[in-house]
C-alpha cells in the first residue's frame, strides 16, 4: 500500500492542496448557503416537532395513568361496598341461625309471624325511668326497691 511519504508528498508541507480544498469548501458553502440554512431550519423544526410529540405523548401517558388509577380506585370502592353488604347479610344470617338454635334448644316450634321471638317468650328489657334516683333514696323508699329484675318473665 502506498503512503503519502512514499509517493513523495509530505503532509506537513502540502499547504497548496489544503488551501485549494479549503477554498473549494468555502465556495460550495457560499453557493449552497440558502439550502444549508433551510435544512438547518427544517432540522430545528423537526427537532421542535419531535420534542412536541414527545411532550404530548408523555401527557397522554400521564392522563391514561391517572384514569387507570381512578378506575382501580372506583373498582376497589365498589368491591369494598359489596364486601360490606355481604358481611351485613352474613351477620343477619348468623342471628337467624342463632335464633333457630335457641328455638331448637327450647324445644318449641318457631313462632310463625313473630318478629321478636324473645318478646314472645316474655323476655323484655325495661328502661329505668328513675336513673336520677340515688341509692340512698332507694333505701329510704321501699317502693323504689320493688323493681322488676332483668330477665324476669312478666
| Segment 23-51, tens digit of pLDDT | 998 898 888 888 888 888 888 888 888 89
- Per-residue burial over 46-74, b = 16 or more CB atoms within 10 Å of its CB, e = otherwise: eeeeeeeeeeeeeeeeeeeeeeeeeeeee
Distance CA 92, CA 32 (A): 89
| The model's pTM | 0.36
Is residue 93 pLDDT above 90, yes or no? Answer: no
Query: Cβ-count burial of 86 within 10 angstroms (0-12 exposed, 13-18 middle, 19+ buried)?
Result: exposed
Lowest mean pLDDT among 86-100, 106-120, 130-144: 130-144
pLDDT of residue 10: 47
More confidently predicted of 133 and 21? 21
Amino acid at each position: 500500500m502506498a503512503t503519502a511519504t512514499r509517493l513523495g508528498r509530505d503532509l506537513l508541507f502540502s499547504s497548496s492542496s489544503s488551501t485549494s480544498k479549503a477554498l473549494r469548501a468555502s465556495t460550495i458553502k457560499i453557493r449552497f448557503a440558502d439550502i444549508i440554512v433551510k435544512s438547518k431550519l427544517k432540522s430545528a423544526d423537526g427537532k421542535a416537532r419531535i420534542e412536541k410529540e414527545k411532550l404530548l405523548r408523555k401527557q397522554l401517558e400521564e392522563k391514561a395513568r391517572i384514569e387507570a388509577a381512578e378506575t382501580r380506585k372506583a373498582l376497589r370502592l365498589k368491591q369494598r361496598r359489596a364486601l360490606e353488604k355481604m358481611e351485613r347479610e352474613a351477620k343477619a344470617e348468623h342471628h337467624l341461625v342463632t335464633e333457630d338454635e335457641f328455638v331448637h334448644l327450647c324445644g318449641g316450634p318457631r313462632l310463625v309471624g313473630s318478629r321478636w321471638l324473645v318478646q314472645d317468650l316474655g323476655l323484655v328489657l325495661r328502661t329505668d325511668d328513675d336513673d336520677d334516683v340515688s341509692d340512698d333514696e332507694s333505701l329510704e323508699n321501699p317502693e323504689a326497691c320493688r323493681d322488676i329484675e332483668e330477665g324476669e318473665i312478666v
